[in-house]
Amino acid sequence: MPRKGLSLGCWLILVLISLGVFACLTLLVGLPEISLLWRHGVTTQGVITDESFGGCGRHGSGDFISVQFTDQTGQVHTSSFDNCSYSFPNPSYGGSITIVYSPDNPTVIAPSGRFPIDAFFIVSMTILMGLLTLILLPRWIRKRARKLS
């Protein structure tokens, strides 16, 4: 006897659980750090002082970029970010880069206008799960209404 697949209700429950998980990840992991930089960060120009190649854990490998910049008070800082978290094309030693830094902690920097790859994935999956819910829920409601009549 052929095995019956998951029912529409089961699929809907799985999608709703996934939506909740990705929504929680978005709120807890993906957005807090970058949203603080976007809301309260200061944009400035920096100079790439070092570029090294290294491992990125589960992302494989990528560039680690050190940037020297001057904050609003005139102090010079050097901080870094990795090309594993931010898609950044062709960094070059001595090149200029626009960054956003936290005025409370100038060691926290990010390339200006760049969204972290992990956060982008989590937000995209949250949107996808929401759309799947919008597709499955009306079908499930119609199926339940037919069964009841």
* Rounded mean pLDDT, 118-130: 75
Residues 90, 116: Cα–Cα separation, whole Å: 17
Question: Cβ neighbours of residue 110 under 8 Å, at least 6 residues apart?
Answer: 34, 37, 41, 81, 86, 99, 100, 116
Per residue in 26-82, pLDDT tens? Answer: 666 655 566 667 677 888 999 989 877 766 655 555 667 889 999 988 999 998 877
What's the predicted TM-score (pTM) here? 0.56
Quote the pLDDT of residue 113. Answer: 65
* Rounded mean pLDDT, 94-123: 77
Quote the pLDDT of residue 70. Answer: 93
Quote the pLDDT of residue 119. Answer: 64
Question: Cβ neighbours of residue 132 under 8 Å, at least 6 residues apart?
Answer: 15, 19
Q: Looking at the predicted structure, is the pLDDT value of residue 23 above 90?
A: no
Angle between helices 117-148 and 8-25 (to 10 degrees): 150
Q: Within its chain, how far is the Cα of 126 from the centroid? A: 11
Q: Which CATH number fits domain 13-135: 2.40.50, 3.40.1000, 2.60.40, 3.40.1130?
A: 2.40.50
Residues 131, 135: Cα–Cα separation, whole Å: 6
Q: Looking at the predicted structure, is the pLDDT value of residue 20 above 60?
A: yes
DSSP code, position 3: P
Share of the chain above pLDDT 90, in %: 8
Q: Residue 8: what are its φ and ψ, rounded to 5°?
A: -60, -40
Confidence band of 24 (pLDDT split at 50, 70, 90)? confident
